Amino acid sequence: MSNTSNIRIAPSILSADFSILGQEVSAIDKAGAEYIHIDVMDGHFVPNLTFGAPVVKAIRKCTTKIFDVHLMISPVDYLIDDFVDAGSDIITAHIEAGPHLHRTLQHIKAKGVKAGVSLNPHTPIESIKHVMDMVDLILIMTVNPGFGGQSFIPLLDKISEARRMINDTGRDIDLEIDGGVNPETAKQVIAAGANVLVAGTAVFKDGSDKYAENIKALRPSA
């Protein structure tokens, strides 16, 4: 189990109102989000398209919170520098985006930002065993990536195993869960060892007046 006093909430701006994206980022900052989760999709690795580095750069002006950039793109390496220059703090690539995850992580780390690896629901956690010394964040997808608002896939054994692998390293590696997180599933993933919760639908509902309440409802004390 993770230290529950140290849970971080990472609202996914995929569920924000894109017509006022800057205001939405400021609103979740003020509402208490620790990370801003930024879903980049290419219409190829996943069946949906979002935005690229210029949009990330534009919203960098709206907050000083950690930019947690989730790249659902393939190939990935040729765009890493653009996302670093746009102001990313953490860049996460998918192991399935291939072909050379080790090289991708080396590239991200060489640019001086934190490196994350994401796993789709079907990918065994053991597949990242040989890069554990390079990663700062492990992102376990609990939906198939591409869309917000899907139902949580209960991969709790995978999350627990990831927490064991992290503890074995003795390093401070974030264990982040993405997909279908709501106040109920948040409890389950925290109990299994997660310490960073991505949430789109559960945060961006009922208008910006409710964002603080929605974020609070995901925390262990709720």
Catalytic residues: 39, 178
DSSP secondary structure string, 100-113? -HHHHHHHHHHTTS
The binder of Zn ion chosen from 24, 136, 174, 178 (CB under 5 A): 178
**Could you give the maximum distance between any two Cα atoms of the chain, in Å?**
44
Report the C-alpha gap between 187 and 198 in whole angstroms. 13
Is 27 exposed, middle or buried (CB count within 10 Å of its CB: 0-12, 13-18, 19+)?
A: buried
3-class SS shares of the chain: helix, strand, coil, % to 5? 40, 20, 40
Question: What's the closest the beta carbon of residue 55 comes to ligand DX5, in angstroms?
Answer: 15
Question: What's the closest the beta carbon of residue 182 comes to ligand DX5, in angstroms?
Answer: 8
Q: Residue 150 binds which entry of Zn ion, ligand DX5, none, with Cβ cut-offs from 5 to 8 Å by kind?
A: ligand DX5
Edge-to-edge strand ranges of the sheet holding 90-94: 8-11, 196-199, 174-178, 137-141, 114-119, 90-94, 66-72, 35-41
x/- track of binding to Zn ion for residues 118-147 (CB under 5 A): ------------------------------
Ranges within 53-82 binding Zn ion (CB under 5 A): 70
Question: What's the closest the beta carbon of residue 176 comes to ligand DX5, in angstroms?
Answer: 10
Q: Residue 199 binds which entry of Zn ion, ligand DX5, none, with Cβ cut-offs from 5 to 8 Å by kind?
A: ligand DX5
The residues that touch ligand DX5, with contacts defined as CB under 6 A, are: 12, 14-15, 37, 39, 70, 143, 145-146, 148-150, 178-181, 198-202
Q: Residue 148 binds which entry of ligand DX5, Zn ion, none, with Cβ cut-offs from 5 to 8 Å by kind?
A: ligand DX5
User: How many Å is the Cα radius of gyration of the chain?
Assistant: 16
